[in-house]
Amino acid sequence: MLIILFAACGVKNGTANKPLWVISSPSGDQITKIDKTGKTVIPNGRFITPAGKNISTAPHPYGLTLSPNGKIAVTANSGTNPLSITIIRDILSDHPEVQQVPPGPATDKGVLASVFMGLAIAPDNKTIYVAGGQENKVYLFDAQSGVKKDSIDCSFSAEGIDYRHGYIGDMKLSKDGKTLYAVDQIGFRMVILNTETKKLSHSVPVGRYPFGICLSPDEKKAYVANVGMFEYSYIKESNEKDAKIKPVGFPAFAYGSKEMQTGIQNDTIAIKGLGELNAIDAFSIFAINLEDTLQPKVTAKIKTGHLVGALIEGIPAVGGSSPNSIVATDDYVFVSNGTNDNISVISIAKDAVVNTIALKPDSRVKQFRGVIPFGLALSPDQKRLYVAESGINAVGVINVADQKVLGHIPTAWFPSKIEVSKDGEKLIIANAKGFGSGPNGGAAFKLGSDGSYIGSLMKGTVQIVAIPKDEQLKEMTKQVISNNFQFTNVTDSVFKNRANNPIPLYPGAQESPIKHIVFISKENRTYDEVFGQLKKGNGDSTLARYGENASFSNRKKTDSIANTTVMPNHLALARQFSISDNFYVDADVSADGHRWLVNTYPNEWCETATAASYGGNRDFKENSKAPGFFGMNGAAGAIYPEDYNEAGSMWDHLARHNVDFYNFGFSIMFEPALYKAEFKYTGIQQFVNFPMPQPLFERTSKMYPTYNTAIPDQFRIDQFIKEFNAKWMNGKGIMPSFSTVIIPNDHGADDRPEAGYPFRESYMADNDLAVGRIVEYLSHTPYWKNMLIVITEDDAQNGVDHVDAHRSILMVISPWIKKDYVGHQHYSFGSLFKSFWNILSMPYLNQYDAGATDLSDLFTTIPNYKPYNALEVNPKVFDPQKALDPFDEKFNWKALKDAPKIDNVEDMFRDSKEQDAYRLQNREKKQ
């Protein structure tokens, strides 16, 4: 990848190599908007133009099945409450009947306590089998009425085997309908269920985090795709059986290190090793012989895709292949490798990989990963293979005979699963994110039963499209490419003014005056909430609850403030430097947001886990004996080995190109974790042996706390200044080229007047002052003249916006930035990284940064070295000294221990009425 990547990006062997074109977002300065009859602009600046007909479902349909008679389609929806299935009857008719089960966002009274991906329909077309996720059950529903009829319990415990906790996912039903095969993701097993007796017949151990399953056409074999990498465990005081859990203040070891593989043990601690990076149980396909009905057994273990560490076009693979979905013909098993952008072809006769089909939709971006192959389907005659290309919003069409890619069909956002009609003429496609969220506030937004929360607004779709003929497929392929990328010749006149811009046109085009980048992440705000009143921007002043002239009260309505400015430093910085009113986070919530923030696009494992977790479908059970229960990660502020992209994250990218960097609190918040007193310098305690990205392990502050809203952002900035002074001021060293900082308290939490937070708005004021202080400090250092500070949010789920629920804050601060300027180009997270890599003369990392529009519009060639001086916040809103006083020997450790976890949904409601409604809904669900 390296040499080709350099050439395409304009750098070869460290010198300028002029490319033929510049790749950017096709949206230009268009805002994100839904247009179901034309081009929808999604938050990353790409278009979706789904072919055919689209039917709306509940959020995040990651499961799809078609009845044997071809008339009923069912989706399994893993989004925010309620978890549901959508039954679509007469799917191919002009007027299909759509039924939501349960029927609405507040009516779930235990109908479907949990659901995840797996679905099947009986041969008589009357019964729907639904995987019950964490309930460790399979539910049975009547296909005509939608009424729950029964369930099959998948739990088992005997003779040292404990399957009482499970997470049932993908499933397949035998042709006679008598046997159901399903994966238990956390039990690391395949379950075999008798549908006549409604009993568990067998549990067959398989690899780590089994995700996909298929049967051979003769039903003599089952194949299971294992998408996980490691089996995690508690950190303990010793190896004794009853040893207590021992939390540590920093992740136990670095990914790939000797310590990670073999573990750490001494007189005071026992940390189990995670083993080899390419263990056969990880990122593999297991073949199970079903002919031995007394005890089906695994007969083959097959690695697919690229091995970790293998040189792939010049770069060692950092992440595993992420095999996730499987289908089989009489001769072959096809496996989608989500991270490698390819399909492995396994011979059924040999149970070995015999070919690999690369998914590279356009030669101009062929070196960049990001297609994310997910669901697979075969035509009834086994001549065509269809693959959901989640990353480019398309379905790939493959000729089975010669195993060549024929073209691509445009879909809605994030296609997940596919079925083919019985006559082989139509595709039925589940699109997990549909047409996006749209706005969640403002005059044009009508608040309905779904509320304003982004997770409830991201409706999925089922798309029905006629399978195109060859000529039509060629045109569709062109549409897919133009939906995702805009290619402009490097000599085009549009670039005539770029010669001296501090953002080079491409890596190596020229040297940038910027030598030090500071990348600051905050938590969960939208553009309108903070900047909605700015006249130069596209804002809605009625939504600017954290702007000027704000009035608010505490939750109990016993205290209030009128006509104050909540975040004066944000407003002042916007007027002294530049912001964007057309910037969007690619993420829906913090879990995927913290992946995007480190230039890691979430793969199918992360996307499905995130939706299920935020829907209340993945609860951490401390007493679980299931080997995989630690891997069911939800709202974490870090990346896990199962998430790693093939070329890694920005940490790997920076280290690979010998760029010096240092980290303050970014990407180290693994969950589950503890919030304990003795770790005010790190924010949390870790008690599971999750490995940290290798390059980050030695380049992260040990005195700067990560996310924890009970720790004031003022304390964080104090720590930042102390460490910065000690390391890089007064001749003690040179500031790194790249620094990352988390300032998270604009996430918000409940009132804590005794700690200086009398209102929810107090957290915003704390965050605002911290942002003002860090910019003030940095702008008074000798590094300022060559510095760029970029400030954004990890996601926007906690706010409201009149353009789109994904629109968020982007502040760009530097002497080389236009003064009092609001940019209108369409930007996303990829825009930030593209700009960073252009400045640092580094190649792009994936399709998302390579295909984004850079930030050059916000920059000027004439610098203004005036520093920034922070503004005080209203002490009645937030008293910084009162918040900092406890950080001595009398610190209120109880407040720290009781701090809310990241993305606790109950913390996100704007008043007690919304919170009470949410609690009532969940009480009803559990009854």
H/E/C letters for each residue in 882-926? Answer: HHHCCCCCCCCHHHHHCCCCCCCHHHHCCCHHHHHHHHHHHHHHH
Specify the amino acid at residue 530.
Answer: V
Helix (H) or strand (E) holding 695: helix 694-697
pLDDT per position as a tens digit, 566-604: 999 999 999 999 999 999 999 988 888 889 999 999 999
Distance (Å, rounded) from C-alpha 32 to C-alpha 46?
9
Cβ atoms of 473 and 490 closer than 8 Å: no
Distance (Å, rounded) from C-alpha 418 to C-alpha 385?
10
Residue 922 has what pLDDT? 43
Distance (Å, rounded) from C-alpha 212 to C-alpha 250?
34
In this structure, how many other beta carbons lie within 10 angstroms of the beta carbon of residue 155?
17
Cβ atoms of 867 and 784 closer than 8 Å: yes
Distance (Å, rounded) from C-alpha 80 to C-alpha 426?
30
Strands 691-692 and 253-254: parallel
- Please choose, from the candidates 742, 697, 753, 738, the residue with its C-alpha nearest in 3D space to the C-alpha of residue 719: 742
Residue 889 has what pLDDT? 33
Residue 881 has what pLDDT? 87
Compute φ and ψ for 471, nearest 5 degrees.
Answer: -65, -40
Which segments of the chain have a pLDDT < 50? 1-15, 107-108, 677, 889-900, 908-927
Distance (Å, rounded) from C-alpha 668 to C-alpha 687?
13
Distance (Å, rounded) from C-alpha 812 to C-alpha 791?
6
Q: In the structure encoding, which two tokens stand for residue 432, read together?
A: 């997990």
Distance (Å, rounded) from C-alpha 918 to C-alpha 354?
52
Q: How far is CA 163 from the centre of its chain?
A: 29
| Nearest-10 crossing angle of helices 568-576, 761-779 | 40
Burial grade of 913 (CB within 10 A; 0-12, 13-18, 19 or more) = exposed
Residue 898 has what pLDDT? 46
Distances 526 to 114, 543, 582, 767 between C-alpha atoms, Å = 31, 10, 11, 15
Task: State the virtual CA torsion across 899, 901, 906, 909 in degrees, nearest 10.
Answer: 80
Distances 397 to 70, 136, 379, 434 between C-alpha atoms, Å = 21, 35, 11, 21
Q: Is the dihedral of CA 914, 920, 922, 924 positive or negative?
A: negative
DSSP 762: H
Residue 819 has what pLDDT? 97
Q: Which residues contact 103 (CB under 8 A, 6 or more apart)?
A: none
Q: Which residues contact 755 (CB under 8 A, 6 or more apart)?
A: 710, 882, 883, 886, 892, 895
Burial grade of 350 (CB within 10 A; 0-12, 13-18, 19 or more) = exposed
Q: In the structure encoding, which two tokens stand for residue 283, read together?
A: 């990122």
Q: In the structure encoding, which two tokens stand for residue 99, read together?
A: 């039924």
| Domains parsed from the chain with CATH numbers | 40-237+283-441+459-484 (2.130.10.10), 514-618+655-913 (3.40.720.10)
* First-residue to last-residue Cα distance in the chain: 54
Distance (Å, rounded) from C-alpha 467 to C-alpha 52?
10
Strands (E), 198-351: 199-205, 210-215, 221-226, 253-254, 263-265, 270-272, 284-289, 297-303, 311-312, 315-316, 323-328, 332-337, 342-347
Prediction pTM value = 0.93
Q: Which residues contact 557 (CB under 8 A, 6 or more apart)?
A: none
Distance (Å, rounded) from C-alpha 264 to C-alpha 44?
42
Q: Which residues contact 909 (CB under 8 A, 6 or more apart)?
A: 915, 918
Specify the amino acid at residue 710.
Answer: A
